[in-house]
């Protein structure tokens, strides 16, 4: 294992300065309130006793130690709160299991069974949570599952609380905001491999837990290591004000599209006076775009929908709970919480655009904006997950793109080429390192990171450069209040020392998500893999017939190559097709998931090709594969 450095004097003093504030002690009460029981086992395991979530690994947060020099004290305190784990009573008839996943699972007592809100990321953590409530409150079946939104940490564990058979038999309803499936699959299709790799920097699952390694994810302690499962909703919520009786419990829904997720909803239980704010509110400033990468979120919508929640439910709710962190109690507190959360997203939006409209560029805006005292004072509006420095850039990007308007930045050299020239300008590698070392001694780690990055990209074999860069990123990580920034810095440092992961699990991609893909999405996924340089001069078309989609617009497709690009057309066949392929969508997914090959499926008679099979080889033989361990901090 790599040597992790101590905090430098600069880091120690930065962290001491950060500790000079009086935090709100009531969050500790909130995180503890209603605790009933915790899991007896210190780990949650999956098949073959594989560790899915290691509770014990985070015991260092529960020892009552004061913040170590290697962790920002505000982040440390937040991590300690997230590390509270177990089954908690939220209010009469509502429980949450927290601390065994990055997200919360909520249970409501229905007439006949449990109504589950957001069944976590992993079926194993969800199952352990269900067992906990069955054991300590009452053994009951799960009669409904509500997904608050289209992110995997809110549906991925669904098979841990119910099954396809229960749902098909009508014993368990699954309720979600409209377009849930489209957005769930959509977010993961086109950019899936890149996003998954970048997510390891955001969440830091490969970092060893500890004061010099992983301490938290902002939204929760850690992400369980387990591919998500998925069952499609049986009912969509399509409008605000829609009311349902779910297992005898009244629910009023508020749709909040294009907020924290593209498909999301809040809801209110009028008979319990309990408000679920999904992930539209958390005990942290959220991301307007996560550093793993995603489409930029709409901060303006986000704020307006929180304002609508206030209007609809703010004068009634006496308890508010969310899908991450801990609840809030009492109406006045609920209102104040909602007002601050509403204003936080609007403030970031408005002030970024105010400065943008005065001509400031993203780097300048991020440096100029300072979170006002009104938000700094409260824990839930500080950046333990999102970070103002990143969120300001997200707002800018949404309206004005990555480009800052300065043509000097319009067509820059890529990192390796630019790097060589900077190293040359500095007078060679040694001169650059000498300059960077004195910057390190001054504690200017941001400058070291920028400068030495040029050298690492010019010459990734320079061991001194890699070491200095790792040490600079490490100190930046130790000082970061945002858990995601910390994780990214420490992951960068680790990979500079060890290289990218040699054996990243290639099959971590969620099979059950792929199972739910439409034909259109499968073709889109395939197109992104086209090795265009091999397809010069190729022009062909194939007809596809999906036997299990008979009578739907998806039954017939044309898939072709034109100008080195794969295109697909729904609902029609072309008369000049080189071949017609007849198969089921489910067999097609088997091939995509590599459970079988095209050739084997043809041999087995599951795929019938009428015409020139070579046309299909031209398409499927020229698809790229993606490595889950591509380099990030080096070329
Ligand atoms: Zn979440």
pLDDT (tens digit per residue) in 264-308: 999 999 999 999 999 999 999 999 999 999 999 999 999 999 999
Q: How far is Cα 366 from Cα 32, in angstroms, rounded to an integer?
A: 35
Across residues 396-413, what is the average pLDDT?
Answer: 98
Asked whether the beta carbons of 585 and 572 are under 8 A apart, the reply is no
CA of 153 to the centre of ligand 1 (A): 5
* Ranges assigned E (strand) in 151-309: 173-177, 235-237, 243-246, 249-255, 265-269, 274-276
d(CA 291, ligand 1 centre) in Å: 14
pLDDT range class, residue 2, cuts 50, 70, 90: low
385 alpha carbon to ligand 1 midpoint, in Å?
11
267 three-state secondary structure: strand
pLDDT digits (tens, 9 = 90+) for 166-202: 999 999 999 999 999 989 887 777 888 899 899 999 9
Q: What is the mean pLDDT of residues 80-106?
A: 98
Percent of the chain with pLDDT over 90: 89
60 Cα–ligand 1 center, Å = 24
Residue 587 has pLDDT above 60, yes or no: yes
Give dist(CA 96, CA 87) in Å, integer: 6
What's the gap in Å between 278 CA and the centre of ligand 1? 8
User: Can you tell me whether residue 306 is helix, strand or coil?
Assistant: helix
**What's the chain's average pLDDT?**
95
Measure 323 CA to ligand 1 centroid, in angstroms. 7
Distance 29 CA to ligand 1 centre (A): 23
Task: Identify the pLDDT of residue 508.
Answer: 47
Q: How far is the CA of 540 from the centre of ligand 1 (A)?
A: 43
Cα of 155 from ligand 1 centre, angstroms:
10
pLDDT at 510: 66
Distance 67 CA to ligand 1 centre (A): 26
Give kind and range of the element (H or E) at residue 395. Answer: helix 388-400
CA–CA distance, 278 with 148 (Å, rounded to integer): 5
Q: Of 435, 492, 490, 430, nearest to 463 (Cα)?
A: 430
Tally of residues, the chain: 635
Helices vs. strands in the chain: H and E counts, helices first: 22, 21
Assigned token pair, 268:
């209110």
Across 577-583, average pLDDT: 97
Residue 251 near residue 145, CB atoms below 8 Å: no
- Place 503 in a pLDDT band, splitting at 50, 70 and 90: low
Residue 180 CA to ligand 1 center (angstroms) comes to 14
Confidence of residue 23 (pLDDT cuts 50, 70, 90): confident
* pLDDT tens figures, 433-464: 999 999 999 999 999 999 999 999 999 999 99
Average the pLDDT over each of 15-24, 127-136, 378-387 and give the range with the smallest value.
15-24
d(CA 486, CA 74): 12
Lowest mean pLDDT among 5-19, 39-53, 240-254, 330-344: 39-53
pLDDT band at residue 517 using 50, 70 and 90 as cut-offs = confident
The most distant pair of C-alpha atoms in the chain lies apart, rounded to whole Å, by: 76
Q: Could you give the count of Cα atoms lying within 13 Å of 233 in the half-sphere of its Cβ?
A: 24
Region 333-346: what's the mean pLDDT? 98
Local structure of 382: helix, strand or coil: coil
| CB distance 159 to 128 below 8 Å | no
Rounded to the nearest 10°, the torsion over CA 544, 547, 551, 556 is 0
Nearest to 132 by CA among 174, 172, 85: 85
Count Cβ neighbours within 10 Å for each residue of 22-49 and write b for 16 or more, e otherwise.
Answer: ebeeebeebbeebeeebbeeeebebeee
CA of 565 to the centre of ligand 1 (A): 36
Instruction: Please tell me the predicted confidence (pLDDT) of residue 507.
Output: 47
When pLDDT is averaged across residues 577-600 and rounded to a whole number, the result is 90
The per-residue pLDDT for 505 is 55
Centroid of ligand 1 to alpha carbon of 265 (angstroms): 13
CA 104 / ligand 1 centre spacing (Å):
9
What's the pLDDT tens digit per position in 371-392? 999 999 999 999 999 999 999 9
Task: Name the CA radius of gyration of the chain, rounded.
Answer: 26
58, pLDDT greater than 70: yes
The torsion angle over the Cα atoms of residues 529, 530, 533 and 534, rounded to 10 degrees, is 120
**Token pair of 629, please?**
């361990």
Strands 114-117 and 142-146: parallel
Identify the pLDDT of residue 1. Answer: 42
**DSSP per-residue letters across 28-49:** HHHHHTTEEE--SSSEEE-GGG
- Other residues' Cβ atoms within 10 Å of the Cβ of residue 96: 24
**Percent of the chain surpassing pLDDT 70:** 98
- Ramachandran angles phi, psi of 302, nearest 5°: -55, -50
Cα 60 vs. chain centroid, distance in angstroms?
25
CA distance readout (Å), 613 to 523, 529, 538, 593: 18, 20, 15, 21
Confidence of residue 414 (pLDDT cuts 50, 70, 90): very high
Which of 106, 96, 108, 141 shows the shortest CA–CA distance to 249?
108
């Amino acid at each position: 294992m790599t040597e992790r450095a101590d905090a430098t004097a600069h880091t120690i003093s930065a962290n001491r300065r950060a500790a000079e504030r009086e935090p709100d002690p009531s969050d500790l009460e909130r995180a503890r309130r209603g605790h009933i029981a915790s899991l007896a086992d210190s780990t949650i395991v999956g098949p073959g006793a594989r560790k899915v979530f290691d509770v014990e690994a985070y015991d260092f947060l529960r020892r009552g130690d004061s913040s170590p020099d290697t962790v920002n004290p505000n982040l440390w305190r937040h991590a300690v709160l997230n590390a509270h784990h177990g089954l908690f009573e939220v209010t009469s008839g509502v429980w949450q299991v927290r601390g065994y996943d990055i997200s919360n699972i909520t249970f409501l007592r229905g007439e006949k069974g449990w109504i589950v809100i957001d069944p976590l990321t992993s079926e194993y953590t969800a199952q352990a949570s269900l067992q906990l409530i069955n054991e300590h409150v009452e053994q009951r079946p799960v009669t409904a599952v509500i997904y608050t939104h289209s992110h995997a940490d809110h549906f991925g564990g669904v098979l841990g609380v119910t099954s396809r058979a229960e749902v098909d038999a009508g014993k368990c309803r699954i309720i979600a905001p409209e377009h849930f499936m489209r957005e769930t699959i959509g977010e993961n299709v086109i950019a899936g491999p890149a996003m998954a790799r970048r997510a390891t920097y955001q969440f830091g699952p490969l970092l060893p837990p500890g004061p010099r390694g992983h301490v938290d994810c902002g939204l929760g302690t850690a992400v369980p290591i387990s591919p998500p499962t998925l069952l499609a909703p049986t009912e969509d919520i399509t409008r605000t004000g829609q009311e349902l009786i779910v297992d005898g419990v009244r629910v009023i829904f508020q749709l909040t599209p294009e907020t924290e997720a593209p498909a999301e909803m809040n809801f209110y239980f009028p008979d319990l006076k309990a408000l679920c704010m999904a992930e539209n509110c958390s005990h942290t400033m959220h991301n307007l775009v996560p550093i793993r990468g995603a489409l930029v979120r709409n901060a303006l919508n986000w704020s307006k929908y929180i304002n609508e929640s206030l209007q609809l439910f703010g004068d009634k709710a006496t308890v508010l709970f969310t899908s991450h962190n801990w609840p809030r109690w009492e109406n006045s507190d609920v209102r104040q919480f909602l007002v601050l959360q509403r204003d936080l997203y609007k403030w970031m939006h408005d002030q970024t655009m105010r400065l943008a409209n005065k001509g400031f560029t993203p780097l300048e805006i991020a440096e100029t904006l300072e979170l006002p005292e009104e938000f700094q004072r409260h824990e839930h509006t500080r950046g333990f997950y999102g970070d103002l420095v990143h969120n300001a850039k997200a707002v800018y990007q949404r309206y004005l793109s990555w480009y800052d308007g300065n043509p000097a930045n319009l067509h820059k050299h890529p990192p390796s080429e630019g790097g060589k020239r900077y190293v040359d300008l500095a007078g060679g590698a040694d001169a650059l390192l000498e300059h960077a070392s004195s910057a390190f001694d001054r504690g200017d780690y941001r400058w070291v990171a920028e400068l030495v990055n040029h050298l690492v990209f010019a010459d990734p074999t320079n061991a001194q450069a890699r070491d200095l860069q790792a040490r600079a990123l490490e100190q930046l990580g130790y000082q970061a209040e945002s858990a995601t920034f910390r994780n990214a810095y420490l992951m960068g440092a680790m990979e500079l020392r060890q290289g990218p992961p040699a054996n990243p699990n290639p099959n971590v991609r969620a099979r059950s998500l792929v199972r739910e893909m439409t034909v259109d999405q499968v073709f889109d996924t395939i197109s992104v893999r086209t090795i265009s340089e091999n397809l010069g001069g190729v022009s062909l078309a194939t007809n596809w017939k999906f036997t299990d989609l008979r009578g739907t617009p998806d039954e017939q497709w044309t898939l072709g190559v034109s100008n080195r690009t794969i295109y697909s057309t729904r609902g029609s066949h072309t008369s000049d097709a080189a071949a017609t392929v007849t198969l089921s969508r489910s067999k097609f997914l088997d091939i995509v998931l590599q459970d079988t090959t095209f050739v084997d499926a043809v041999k087995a008679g599951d795929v019938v090709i009428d015409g020139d099979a070579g046309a299909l080889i031209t398409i499927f033989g020229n698809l790229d594969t993606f490595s889950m361990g591509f380099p990030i901090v080096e070329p």
